[in-house]
Structure 1
Amino acid sequence: MEYEDILAALNVKQLNKLKDSNLRFSEILGLEIPFYDGLGFPPALIPIANSIGSFQYFGAFLYDIVDSKVSFVDLMIDDSELFEIGLNEKQFCYYLARRSLQDYLEEDPDISSEIYQLCSLLGVDEFNSLQTIDEQNYLRLDVFRSGIPKYFQTRQGGTTYGKTGFDLEAVAKLKRLKKSAVNFS
């Protein structure tokens, strides 16, 4: 089964449209779509994209296998950190659109038509307001009425549901042990 089929089975349909477009995601988002499958990721993550130049995945995180419930996350592999950036697909689409508008449009105004096309593919209608909106007002958009992802609430890793797919504390403990073993020898 392909990742796109898994996403469709989880009712994640808007994002599946991205793979068929001919947008230059590396230039308008700093992401590789479809993702590069060579970095390794936890089994609960269904990758959608990976960051260009860093070990980072963006994708759907299956936090409830029985009921097939997902949230959307940014997984930083080197730091073993998982940041919830969308409670649903629509919030994740807004996150991607805002990232593109704020991080890439300012650097290169010539890509505005591609970013507008991206927003359209993602189903994001607030193209003009997302360019100038601050974070406080961003989180007041209708798309966040159902709830605010944990990262935007606390600026900390993890998910709203408290499940991360792997034990971040155990990973941190192993890193400390490894570091102390190196210092010991």
Structure 2
Amino acid sequence: MEHEAFVPVPAETLRQALRDPARVARCVPGLQRDADAEAGPLSGRLKLRVANHSITYRGELHLVEQGRAFVVEGEGTEVRGGGSVKITLAIRPEPTDGGTTLTFTGSARAEGRLAELPAGPRTAAGHRILDRFAESLAAAAFEEPPLGGAQPPRAAAAGTDGPRGAEGPDGGPDAGDGTPVEG
């Protein structure tokens, strides 16, 4: 899979944000982080919407800087069912006029419910997640890193975690404005 997203933020500012796992976790659409601090900021439940299906995975992501790219490796198992997913994704922030192009290159292997769905909706859902991640990362890029590793406060409203990771009226992740994310 390959995908690109433009954000009006300098590349070095995005690289700094990508070096902060807690900030990255807040930008992953549909991620509900584990409360256990030892589990790491990129572990928890990830709810995906593909076509008319909602699939929740429990797992973790690992983010490592390699040269000018950031490599994400992750795996998870279905909360309900026997399926699993593994992903490898390289994120390369490249300066462009007026901001940065984030180039995503990667692959995923799925078993279970996700693997049974048609390729078109799976790809569209993947691109939508990457676009939403890029938008959230751009918005979070200018946040000050927390002192002493403390987590900055997150917005809370009526049982949601705010725009990033919020759930829409159908229980699936939304676009940050109450609009459900569909596949």
Q: Is TM (by shorter chain) over 0.5?
A: no
User: Which structure's residues are more often strand, by fraction?
Assistant: 2
User: Which structure's residues are more often helix, by fraction?
Assistant: 1
Over alpha carbons, which structure has the higher Rg?
1
Task: Tell me the TM-score normalized by structure 1.
Answer: 0.33
Task: Tell me the TM-score normalized by structure 2.
Answer: 0.34
Greater relative contact order: 1 or 2 (C-alpha under 8 angstroms, separation 6 or more)? 2
